[in-house]
Structure formats: C-alpha cells, structure tokens
Amino acid sequence: MQAPKHWKKLTLVSITALVLIGSMQESVGRYHGSERGESGEGGNAAYLRANNATWQAECSACHMAYPPSMLPASSWKAMMSDLPNHFGTDASLDEATIQEIMPLLEGFAAKEPSPAPEKPVLRITETRWFKRQHDEISDRTWNNPKVKSASNCMACHTQADKGNFDEDNVRIPR
C-alpha cells in the first residue's frame, strides 16, 4: 500500500524544517559559546534574535540597549539585582519586568570567563574582550566630546543600536 501524496510532501517539508532548525541552533551555539561573539563578528544575528520589547524600552530609555552577549550571565544577574545603584542612577524596575528581561540576558549572555573573577564585571568597557578590541584607541579619541566615553558605542559604531559592531561600520569622530 502506498502513502497518499500529501504525506510525502508533508514528510519532505518536515525533514527540511528539521535540517534548517538544526543548522540555526548550531550557529546560535557557536555564537553563544564564544567570549562576546568573537566567532560571530559583530554579533548582529544573535542580537536580532535576542530582541525583546521590554528590554529594548527599559534599557534604551537611558542608554543604548547593550546586546546581552557583551557580558556573561553572572554579570547581568549582579547588575539586575542592584538597579537602584545602576552606575550612579536609580534604574529600578518592578519584579515582573526583571523576570521578563532576565531570561533574555541569561540566554544570550557571553561565556563565563575562566578563571571566574572574584566579583562579576559590570562594565562592558572593563571586559577583556572590550580592552582587546579597543587597545589601539587613543585617550584623545576617548576624550573627544563627540565620543564622551568608552560606553558610548554609537559614537563610533554606527550600527551598534542594531547589534552590529562590524569594523566596516566604524566611523571614529574627528
């Protein structure tokens, strides 16, 4: 007895979907397993998958919503647990909002550093990755009024707000 035609089509579509899902998971795993996306230059694809309207609205109310992959989960947990003292500002959120944002931050966080630091690094600019990537930037550039500080990614990375930190999109202000 032969299977109906639609079963053959359904089987083919299902196999194709499984192959695509498997390849997507593999690429997310490669990205997520690196220290701040080194295997995914710029991290744009993971950033787009890591989008969450609440995270975007709450974090970008004061600064760019930094991609979760820029810090390990331990850093995000420490930061989110002390929002009343968020770098000199009270950025308090209600518990429901924190519970909505935390899975995103943890799910797309950078790999935990090894050896683990005594205290989690809270500033992206203090991570080994950031220092390595920006070691050629002069103090003059950091002090440029158009840059203001190392945490102002958008000053040089023209698509940072989209999670794209690719060197092709860097324009250092003069």
The total domain count for the chain is 1
Q: Is 143 exposed, middle or buried (0-12, 13-18, 19+ CB in 10 A)?
A: exposed
Mean pLDDT, residues 118-124 taken together: 94
Question: 17 pLDDT exceeds 60?
Answer: no
Residue 60 lies in a domain: yes
Assigned domain for 110 exists: yes
**117 or 27, which is more confident:** 117
Neighbouring C-alpha atoms within 13 Å toward the C-beta of 147: 18
Query: What residues make up the domain containing 20?
Result: 8-169
Please give the Cα distance from 30 to 37 (Å, whole number): 9
Mean pLDDT of the chain: 80
Whether residue 158 lies inside any domain: the answer is yes
Percentage of the chain exceeding pLDDT 70: 71
Structure tokens that stand for 14 in this block: 């299902």
What count of residues does the chain have?
Answer: 174
User: Which tens digit of pLDDT belongs to each residue from 77-86?
Assistant: 999 999 999 9
**Residue 2 forms part of a structural domain:** no
Within a domain: residue 81? yes
- For 25-35, what is the mean pLDDT? 38
Question: Where are the alpha helices (H) located in 38-94, listed in sequence order?
Answer: 44-49, 53-60, 73-80
pLDDT of residue 72: 95
